[in-house]
Chain A
Amino acid sequence: AQSVTQPDIHITVSEGASLELRCNYSYGATPYLFWYVQSPGQGLQLLLKYFSGDTLVQGIKGFEAEFKRSQSSFNLRKPSVHWSDAAEYFCAVGARGFQKLVFGTGTRLLVSP
């Protein structure tokens, strides 16, 4: 069975600084990988996804993520954080041929002025 680890519960970043959120997964084959964002009191919105091909994936709101098979990682990055990026971010892994996604425990991003 697949699993996801997000080792950082909270991260604080200054506005304008770069951001990297970590995600490590466990799965025996090439997974489907996702990053979702949740603003306070809202549902989850898809930021980006990886299925195959280019290991650097571009998403919405200026986010990108890189799939590194050797490290079983799918870290989320943004070169310059805006105050509106403050939210909770979830990494998720899916298995090919199966319907379910498994989510990490989330990382809450705080943006300081």
Chain B
Amino acid sequence: DVKVTQSSRYLVKRTGEKVFLECVQDMDHENMFWYRQDPGLGLRLIYFSYDVKMKEKGDIPEGYSVSREKKERFSLILESASTNQTSMYLCASSPITGTGNGELFFGEGSRLTVL
């Protein structure tokens, strides 16, 4: 069964802490994404990566960075967590355009609370 696995389902951090959210996919997909989900706002794209060591900003990249050192792993980094980053974070992957036609495969999400 193919999967996207997010390492932490629930995290509680303090303001100013550095936070790492890890995501691993076993489908050999080229593309990986980080979305943020907030009530009434739907899913908003933070960053995505279409290849190892490549990244592109999404719609709300401020306050975040990403790392993709291996094809299967995509990490989201909050350099200095703030309370307005309390949210549900969803990782997704997809094969290259033309093979999967944009369909995303999602992990179960990481709910981050920043105190």
Contacts and interface: CB of A to CB of B under 8 A. Distances in A.
Residues of A in contact with B, size category: 20 to 34
B104 interface: yes
Contacts of A46: 103-105
Contact of B48 (A6, A42, A100): A100
A101 B102 contact: yes
A99 B102 CA distance: 6
Contacts of A101: 102, 104
**Residue of A6, A32, A43, A46 with most partner-chain B CB within 10 A:** A43
Interface of B: 4, 31, 33, 35, 40-45, 48, 50, 58, 90, 92, 94, 96-97, 101-109
Interface of A: 6, 9, 32, 34, 36, 41-46, 49, 51, 90, 92, 94, 96-106
